[in-house]
Structure 1
């Protein structure tokens, strides 16, 4: 099979799930409605980052030299190989810590499995995949929680640490900054193709290489004062997460469509009609805060709203430092990193040109 699972007892993992990867996320507009009636965290001066700007993780300042980063992420399978599913989910969950400029220190596993449908060996492989990525990140899986669930779910709760001076948020972009994206786009398109058996072995390998590449470069970037803001690009697509940065920073983000890096088959598959339901839900949530060229075809717009599972980091940095930072990102092992736009003074919108 193209997605790596040659022979395993029981049904395909993707057959047991109504969605997969970060395409499972509740649409941003719906999420805002759900959270609208929730009480604010209250007067907690040590809570530096909460829910106020849809940032990647919560941050609690312990003292003048240390902050604790806390995050959780989990989803249903987008691939059928259980080991690969575990690796992708773990890489995605750890990314939130790197996106805040921190380094992870430990993880807890989150596991929900239809134990009457999946063999124990398959579930063990999911856990082994997640543990292998945690090992690569240099952290233990120190515990977790499991339930019997109708659909397979796996992810991590991750704890990290960061010095207050190195904390980076999605609120720091300033007019005049350059925008850099560290990974290629199109993961959701690829996952849609997997479900229909239309992604070849080369495409699967490309997707797996991207989705299991840890975003550890975020911690290194945060050490540079010329890096103003960072967020990771996941289920809301490049447009959705750019919009969160625009809102949080009170500025306009201008994205040059021709500069966006795409996985090799993404444009061809999108033009052929492959898309996730999340792409449509994302677009319906953006409203007038997203401005696209009038002649942009629907298939290309779907690429921009494509949910990215374990996607790259969107980085806002000083214009004069952009070239050197981009070279450093390439050297750190992110060959598809590109400079994709700029930050402008103006309303908190995203303009694609």
Structure 2
């Protein structure tokens, strides 16, 4: 346990460690107590008298001492560190989710370490192995679907894994997922209520569990009422350009769809802009559109996009609760499914 020096010139020099930090021994000497008393003072729930606590805190303030939680965690059962493995951190939805989780972890006394999954060489397995070096209390995976082998390696090393919207067939980790299929069925129902009979769904060839669930459920719901929807799979990313490309594929055809469900909002924006400016269509009079994610731009006047929102606050609360469990309190993996919230705007005919 160490802390950065910040002392009054009138006080004698405290003993510093090799990096120039005030040590617990200096606090003990100043307070006239044992070093273990200093440790107990800064350990939540530890037994220490009020007088000892007062003397230790006074000495710590005078010397500018702060607890080194990392050193304490390495020598104990928990470090207080939670790693977040995130791809596309610049995109609105991953950024919003990472921020909410980080803030909730901080409220729970944890420190979030962000590990960004970058290019092709920076895969999920390599990133999870880096996370093991931190001896974190948990690692939250928001990107990719880890292979069972790296999951087993993490679990065998005492690492708790929390997957968000990942494949729930992986054995071992906790999983917090959305009812993507239910949302897709709701989207199809809204189109039918609006009188639309030529629906389409725009997705990618990426095939992540969440995107596949939205696509497959939409197609199944349409077929259940005797409609064969168009399915457009554009590229390996869910971006604005994919929405534009999908619009060219859909609206240049002799028979155009009158409703499109896009598996995320950014794709929907590209599709809407191309539909309007290239093909002269009006939303929602000629074309109803529903997205997914409820990013900030979905509420802009240019789009006023009906979409589904992630229950971000609930997800963050569940992550903090799972990450705060002790290693001795890890029974069967937790499986949590949350319903996305429908956000009604003006991109669907009434």
TM-score by length of 1: 0.25
Q: Point out the structure with max Rg over C-alpha.
A: 2
Determine which structure has the larger strand proportion and give its number. Answer: 1
TM-score by length of 2: 0.25
Q: Which has the higher contact order (CA 8 A, sep 6+)?
A: 1
